[in-house]
Structure 1
C-alpha cells in the first residue's frame, strides 16, 4: 500500500539527492549549491533551507529563508513554489506559538496551491490548518479534516502524510479519553513509518504510544520507547522533537509519582525549548515544573496558584484551550483558587 516515505519539501534537483532522513547539514549544503542555478531553483532551495533551519530550532534563519523562497517563487511566477514557501512560514509560526499567524499563512498556502494545481502542497497546507486547530483543542472543527486527509493519503499511497494524520487523530482520541483507539492509531502510525523508512514520523509515533502506556501505568515500557525515540531525535538533530520527547518523559515520571525526577526532566526540557524559541513547548514545560514543585511541597499553595494564573494567561494568549483545561483540572484537584482575570493575562514566558 505504501512505498518509501518522500519529502516533497525537497524540490527540483534536491528531490533526487535528499530523503526524509537526510541530515540537515547535508540539506543546507545541497540547497546552498542549488540556489545559484535559477530564480525558481533559488525558491525551491530556499524552502529546503527554511525547513532545515526550522527543524534545527533556528527560527530567525528559518524565517528569512522561507520569505526569500516566497519572493523568488513570486518572481518566477510559480504558484506551487509560493504555496510551499507559505506552508513553511505557517508551520514555523505554529512552532513559535503564533497560531493566528499560522492559520493566515497556511490558508494562503492552500489558496496558492489550488491556483497552481499542486495537490500535495494543498494537502500539506490543509494538514497544517488541521494540526493548528488540533493543538488549540478545537477537535470538533478539525476532526473531519484529519479523517479526510488520512483517506487521501491512503488513496495516494503517501506514508508520511498518513503517519501525520494517524498521529493527529490518535492525539485527539487520547485527549478525549479513548485510550484504546489512540494506542491502536499510534501503533499503526509507528508501523507505517518504520516500513516507509520515516524515522522522524516513527519517533513522534513512539512518543504517542509512550504517552498512552503511561496513562495505563506502564511506566517502564513508556520510558523505554521514549529512549528509543530520543536516539532518532539526537541522530537527526531534531531539536524540537527532542525537547517534546523530554517534556513527555517528565509527564511519564509525574504520573508515576516520581516528582523529583519529573521536576529535573521538565527543567531540562524548558531550557531546550527556550534555546530554540518555542513558546508553546516552553509554557507546557513550565506547567509540568509548577505541578511537580506543588507535589513535592517546595512551592506554597499561594505561589502555585499565582504561577498557574500566569500560565493560564499565556495559554489563553497562544490559544491552547486543552492546556487551559489542564490548568483548571489541577487547580480543582488541589483546591487552588484562580486569581482575578487581569492576573491571568500576563505573558509569563520570561519567568
Structure 2
C-alpha cells in the first residue's frame, strides 16, 4: 500500500505545502520564508527556503534564479553542518544541470548528493539522488545500465509506500519499454502509474503518466484519444505552472499530429514548442521539437538539401550532449524521409 503523495523538497516551515501547489505560489511562500530566515540568522532555515526557491524557479523555467538559489541552499546547509540539507541542495543542482543539458555535471552533483545523504542517514534524499542518476541515464538512452536501478528504486519506494516515487519509477520503466519497442508493457505501466497517482493525489505524476499513455495510444492508431489525454494533462500543467512539463506535453501533441499525417498542424505546434523550450532554457526539449519541425517541413515540401543540413546539425548536437537515443531518432528520421540510412 502507499501513502498520499508529498513533496520532501519542501522542508522546515514550508513542509505543509502541497505537492500539487502551483509553483508560483510555492515561490512566493519560499521567498517569504527566505526573508524570515535572513532575519533570524538560521542557516538551516535559509537552506530549506532556498531549496524551495530553486525548485520553484526550475519548474517555472527561471533557470538562472534556480542556479543561484540551489547554490545558496548548499552554502547555508554547509554552514549549518547539515548533511541531508547539503544532499538536497546538490540534488536540486544536479536536476537543474540535467534540465539544462549538462549531463556530466548532473551526474557529478547527483552522485555527491547520494553520498552525502547516505552519510547523513536521509534515505529519501538518497533515493531521490539515485533516481536523478537513473533518469539522467535513461534520457541519454543508456537503458541497459539504468533499468536495474529503476527497478531497485521502484521496489524501495513500494516498500516505504512512497506513491510519488512509485509513480516516477513506473513512468521511467515504461519509457524504457516504450523506447525499446515493448509498447504493450509500457502502456500497462503508464496506466498503472495514472491509477496510483490519482489515488495518491499526485497531480504532477498523473500528468506525466497521461502523456505516456497518450504516446502509446497514438502509436496504436488513435490520435483523437491521445489528444484528449494530452488536453487533460496540459490542464494540470497550467494549473501548477509546470512550464517544462507543459512544453513536453506540447511536443507530444506535435508527435501525435505528425503520426496522424496532419503535418501542417504538427509544424505549427512544433514551431511554438521550440520557442517554449528556448524561453525556459531547456536545450534537449528544444532540439527534440526542432527535429519534429524539420520532419514536418520535409513532409510539406521543404528542400531535401536543407532538411539534410538540419538533420546533420541536430545529430551532431545530440552526439555532443551524449543523447544516444535522440541521435538514433535522427537516423530513423533520415531513413523515414529519404528511404536510406
- For the criterion TM > 0.5, the same-fold answer is yes
**TM-score, L = length of structure 1:** 0.94
C-alpha separation between the residues in 2 aligned to 1:199 and 1:50?
20
Is residue 307 from structure 1 mapped to residue 310 from structure 2 by the alignment?
Answer: yes
In structure 2, the CA distance between the partners of 1:254 and 1:267, relative to structure 1 (3 Å rule), is same
**Is the CA contact 1:305–1:336 (under 8 Å) kept in the aligned structure 2?**
no
Q: Aligned Cα RMSD in Å? A: 1.1
C-alpha separation between the residues in 1 aligned to 2:269 and 2:100?
22
C-alpha separation between the residues in 2 aligned to 1:189 and 1:11?
26
- Shift in Å, 1:24: 1.8
Please list the CA deviations of residues 264-294 of structure 1 after superposition, one character each: whole Å capped at 9, or x if unmatched: 0001111100110100000000000000001
Report the secondary structure of 1:334's partner residue.
Answer: helix
- Shift in Å, 1:33: 2.9
Query: Equivalent residues in 2 for 1:1-351 (5 A)?
Result: 1-15=1-15, 17-35=16-34, 36=37, 37=40, 38-297=42-301, 299-335=302-338
Please list the CA deviations of residues 195-232 of structure 1 after superposition, one character each: whole Å capped at 9, or x if unmatched: 11111110000000000000000110000000000100
C-alpha separation between the residues in 2 aligned to 1:205 and 1:25?
23
C-alpha separation between the residues in 1 aligned to 2:142 and 2:70?
28
**TM-score, L = length of structure 2:** 0.97
C-alpha separation between the residues in 2 aligned to 1:214 and 1:336?
23
**Is the CA contact 2:117–2:125 (under 8 Å) kept in the aligned structure 1?**
yes
- Shift in Å, 1:337: 7.3
C-alpha separation between the residues in 2 aligned to 1:243 and 1:171?
18
Report the secondary structure of 1:41's partner residue.
Answer: helix
**Is the CA contact 2:57–2:65 (under 8 Å) kept in the aligned structure 1?**
yes
Please list the CA deviations of residues 47-72 of structure 1 after superposition, one character each: whole Å capped at 9, or x if unmatched: 01100000001000000000000000
**Is the CA contact 2:24–2:241 (under 8 Å) kept in the aligned structure 1?**
no
Name the count of aligned residue pairs.
336
**Is the CA contact 1:305–1:337 (under 8 Å) kept in the aligned structure 2?**
no
- Shift in Å, 1:3: 1.9
Report the secondary structure of 2:4's partner residue.
Answer: coil
- Shift in Å, 1:336: 7.1
C-alpha separation between the residues in 2 aligned to 1:159 and 1:3?
6
Please list the CA deviations of residues 14-49 of structure 1 after superposition, one character each: whole Å capped at 9, or x if unmatched: 11x201011223222222232324110100111011
Please list the CA deviations of residues 155-213 of structure 1 after superposition, one character each: whole Å capped at 9, or x if unmatched: 00000000000000000000111000000000011111111111111000000000000
Please list the CA deviations of residues 236-274 of structure 1 after superposition, one character each: whole Å capped at 9, or x if unmatched: 111000000000000000000000000000011111001
